[in-house]
Structures are given as C-alpha cells and as structure tokens.
Amino acid sequence: MNDVIIKPDITIKEAMKKLGLSAEKCLVVTDSNDFLLGTLSDGDLRKAILNGAVLNDSISKFFQE
C-alpha cells in the first residue's frame, strides 16, 4: 500500500514517476499524520499540465479532495 501513498508537497514529475511504477490507477495523498487528504490520478496530472502547470509544480493544487 505504501507504493501509492504520497504527500501533497511532491512535484508533478515525482507523482508521474510514482504512478508509472504503481499498478494502480491513482495515488492516495496524505498529510504528515497519515490523514487522508485526497487522491491524484493520471487524468488530474494531464489536466494540470494542459492548464499550464509545469513538472516542478507541487501537486497540492491538483489532487481531488
């Protein structure tokens, strides 16, 4: 399960790598206390990039709460 858990401060590029290595369709975003914040899918990342985000941007604005 740890292979799909990420923190909201990672970059889009890091999230894309993690999704690529995972067999899952989305990643689970948690805070430092492992409290669920939301999910991030490859569609969320594509949409962010199409709307002008760059690979070094944090995912904090793009995951689904």
Q: Is the pLDDT of residue 9 over 80?
A: yes
DSSP 8-state code for residue 59: G
How high is the pLDDT of residue 2?
74
pTM of the model: 0.89
| Mean pLDDT across 39-52 | 96
* Cα–Cα dist 45/64, whole Å: 11
Q: Is the pLDDT of residue 17 over 80?
A: yes
* Cα–Cα dist 35/56, whole Å: 24
- Cα torsion 55, 60, 64, 65 to 10°: value is 170
pLDDT tens sequence across 18-36: 999 988 889 999 999 999 9
